[in-house]
Chains A and B, each alone.
Chain A
Amino acid sequence: MSQQKKLLIIDDDPDFVDGIKSVLVGAKYDVDVAYNPKDGISALQTKHYDLLLLDIMMGRGAEGIMIARKMRKDPKLRELPVLIITGIREQLAFLFPGEPVHPRFVQVDELVEKPIEPQLLLDKVSALLQASEVRKTKPI
C-alpha cells in the first residue's frame, strides 16, 4: 500500500477550510492548513507536501497568485501539484487581462470553483497526485 499523502491547504477562510478538510481527512489524507499566505509559504519551504490546495482571493486581493508566482520561481516547489480553488472563475480574467481564463501557474495544476462537491474534490486531488507521480517516474 502506498504511504499516506500529505496535503497543504492555504486559505484564509477557516470555515471553508473545515468543510474541505473534513472531506480530505475522511479520505485518509494527512492535511495541514495555513490560514494566510505567509504561513503558507513557510510551511511549503520547511515541510514536504504531495499537493497544495490554494485559495486565490485572500487578504487584500489575489494573494494566492503571489504564492503561485513564488512557487514557479522555486525549482523544488515548481513540481508540486496545485489545486487552485477560486471564488469566481471570472475573477481570474480580471487579474490576468488578455490571458486565457485559466493561466497555468505551475507545472501541474487544476482549477476549481468554490464550493466544490466532495466527490469532485477527491477526484481532482487523486488525479493531480497521479499526474505528478507519472511525471516523476517518466524520464525527461
Chain B
Amino acid sequence: MAAKHKIIIIDDEDVVLDSCTQILEGNNYTVVTASNGTQGLKLVEEVDPDLVFVDLKMPGISGTEVLEKIAHTDPTIATVVITGYATIDSAVEAMKKGAYDFLPKPFTPDEFRMITRRGLERRRLLQETIALRKEKEVLRDNYAAIVSHELKAPLVAIQQNLYALLGEQSDNLTKSQKDRLERMKSRIDDLNKLILSWLRVLSVDINNIKGSFTNLRVQTLISKALESVEPHAIRKDIEIVTTIDDPNSSILGDEVSFTEALVNIIGNAVKYSYASSKVFVTVKGKDVVIEIEISDSGIGIPKDELANIFTDFYRGKSGQVVEGSHGLGLTISRRIVEVHGGTIAVESEPGKGTTFIIKVPALTI
C-alpha cells in the first residue's frame, strides 16, 4: 500500500480545522492542523507534508508569508489558500506567488475533497518531474560509460579475434585474403573512433578537462599528433612540413584532448589534399598568443559551407545532420581549443586549399 498523504491545515478558526479534518477522515490521509502561521510552519518542517491549506487572514504572521516560507522550504509542496469571498483578490495574489489553488469559504465537503485530490495530484506530478529530470541527468552523465561498454564491447571482441586470426593464419592466407582482413580491421577501427567522438560531443562535459591542465610544449603536441596522422599521409604520398619558430613555445592544457584536436585538423588536411602534395604545419609567436597554422593545397571548402563546418552535429531541436559538414571532428576540435581559451578560424578557396588557424594563449614562464 502506498504511504499516506500528509496534509496540514493552517487556520485560526477551530470550526474550519475540525470540519476539514472530519471530511478527510477515513481516506488515505494523515491530517494535522495548526491555528496560526508560526505553528503551521513548524509543522511543515516536522511533517514534510504533501499539501498545505493556508488561511490568508490569520492573526500573527500572514498567510502570504507562510506561503512564501513553504515555497522556500520545498517548492514541490502543494499549497492551497483558504479565503472568504471578500478576499478573492488576495487569493489571486497568493496564487501568483506560487499557491497552487484557492478554496473559497464557505465550501462543501465535496469541493474540499476535490481540491485536496487535485492538490495531491499536483504534488505527485511535481515530484515525478523532478525525479525524471534527475534520472535524465544521471543517464546523461553515465551515457559515456553505458554506451561505450554496450557498443564497444562487441566491436572490441571482434577486433581482438581478427588480430589473433591474422597472426595465427598468416602462413595460410593469400594476399587478397590478408588484405580483406586488414580492411575489416581498419573499418572496425574507424567505427570505434566514431563511437568515441560521438560520446565526446553528446555526453562528456568538455570543461572537465580543465582539471588536468599542465604545461605542454607545442612541439611535443605536434609530434604526437603527427604520429597518428603520418601513416595516412604516407599512403597518399603527402609530405607534412613542420616549422616551429620557438621550440620552447608552451601552452597550459590537456595533452590528450589538444593532441586530438590537432589530429583532427591535420588529419582533415591530409584527407582533403591531393595525392603527392604537401601539408604545412607552422607554429608562430611565443609571448602572448601562439598561432598554429595548418594549411593544405587540397580541394578546399565552398564559401557557403565554410560557416557551418564548426557547427554542432545537432542543429537545434530537429537533430538534423549538418549537410556537407566535415563530420564531428571539427566540432570537437573547436570545443577543445575553446576550453583552452583559444579560437579556431578557417580560410579556404575551392580548388586551392584550406588553412586552419588555431590561436591559444601562450604560457609565459
A13 / chain B contacts, CB cutoff of 8 Å: 153, 156-157
> Which residues of chain A are near B168, meaning CB under 8 Å?
22, 26
Residues of A whose CB lies within 8 Å of any CB of B are 13, 15-16, 18-20, 22-23, 26, 57, 61, 87-91, 93-94, 98, 100-101, 114-118
Considering the complex, give the chain B residue whose CB is closest to the CB of A16. Answer: B157
A93 CB to closest chain B CB (Å) equals 7
Q: How far is the CB of B129 from chain A (nearest CB, A)?
A: 27
A133 to chain B, nearest CB (A): 26
Q: Which of B47-55, B141-149, B217-225, B316-324 lines the interface with chain A? A: B141-149
Q: A26-B168, A87-B148, A90-B144 are in contact. Are A98 and B211 (CB under 8 A)?
A: yes
CB <8 Å contact, B164 and A20: yes
Across-interface contacts of A118 in B (CB, < 8 A): 163-164, 167
**Cβ of B159 under 8 Å from chain A:** yes
Smallest distance from the beta carbon of B177 to chain A beta carbons, Å?
A: 18
A16 x B144 contact (CB < 8 A)? no
Flag whether B286 is at the interface (Cβ < 8 A): no
Q: Are A115 and B149 in contact (CB under 8 A)?
A: no
Query: Can you spell out 14 A-B residue pairs with CB atoms less than 8 angstroms apart?
Result: A13-B156, A15-B158, A16-B160, A18-B161, A19-B162, A19-B163, A20-B160, A26-B164, A26-B167, A87-B148, A88-B152, A115-B156, A115-B159, A116-B163
B163 contact from A57, A90, A115, Cβ within 8 A: A115
Q: Is the CB of A23 within 8 A of B144?
A: no
Asked whether, in the complex, the Cβ of B148 is within 8 Å of the Cβ of A19, the reply is no
- Count chain B residues whose beta carbon lies closer than 8 angstroms to a beta carbon of A: 26
> Contacts of A88 on B, CB cut-off 8 Å?
144, 148, 152, 196, 199
How many whole Å from B175's CB to the nearest CB in chain A?
Answer: 20
CB contacts between A and B, total, < 8 Å: 74
Query: Which positions in B face A, CB cutoff 8 Å?
Result: 144-145, 148-149, 152-154, 156-164, 167-168, 192, 196, 199, 204, 208, 211-212, 256
B87 to chain A, nearest CB (A): 53
Distance (whole angstroms) from the CB of B168 to the closest CB of chain A: 7
User: Which residues of chain B are near A61, meaning CB under 8 Å?
Assistant: 145
Residues on B with C-beta less than 8 A from A90 are: 144, 204
Across the interface, A87 reaches (CB within 8 A) one of B152, B161, B211, B212, namely B152
Q: How far is the CA of A18 from the CA of B165 in the complex (A)?
A: 11
B258 to chain A, nearest CB (A): 14
B145 contacts which chain A residues (CB < 8 A)? 57, 61, 91, 94
Smallest distance from the beta carbon of A103 to chain B beta carbons, Å?
Answer: 13
Task: Give the residues in chain A near B162, CB-CB below 8 Å.
Answer: 19
Specify which chain A residues have a CB less than 8 angstroms from the CB of B149 in the assembled complex: 57, 87
Contacts of A26 in B (CB 8 A): 164, 167-168
Q: Which residues of B contact A114 (CB under 8 A)?
A: 152, 156, 159-160
Docked-complex contact B208 and A93, CB < 8 angstroms: yes
Give the residue among A16, A18, A90, A118 with the most B Cβ atoms within 10 A.
Answer: A90
Known A-B contacts A87-B149, A88-B144, A88-B196; the reply to A23 vs B156 at CB < 8 A is: no
Q: When the two chains form their complex, are residues B208 and A19 in contact, meaning their CB atoms are under 8 A apart?
A: no
B121 to chain A, nearest CB (A): 35
A19 touches B212 (CB 8 A): no
Known contacts A15-B161, A16-B160, A89-B256; 9 further A-B pairs (Cβ under 8 A): A13-B156, A23-B163, A26-B167, A87-B153, A87-B156, A90-B204, A91-B145, A98-B211, A115-B192
- Give A62's nearest chain B residue, CB to CB: B145
Interface centre among A20, A100, A114, by most B CB within 10 Å? A114
* A86 → chain B closest CB, angstroms: 10
Q: Is the CB of B156 within 8 A of A91?
A: no
The interface residues of chain A lying within 8 Å CB-to-CB of B164 are 18-20, 22-23, 26, 118
Complex contacts, B212 vs chain A, CB 8 Å: 93, 100-101
Contact A19 B152 (CB under 8 A): no
Residues of A close to B204: CB separation below 8 A: 90
**Alpha-carbon gap, A99 to B158, bound state (A):** 32
How many whole Å from B97's CB to the nearest CB in chain A? 40
Contact B156 A16 (CB under 8 A): yes
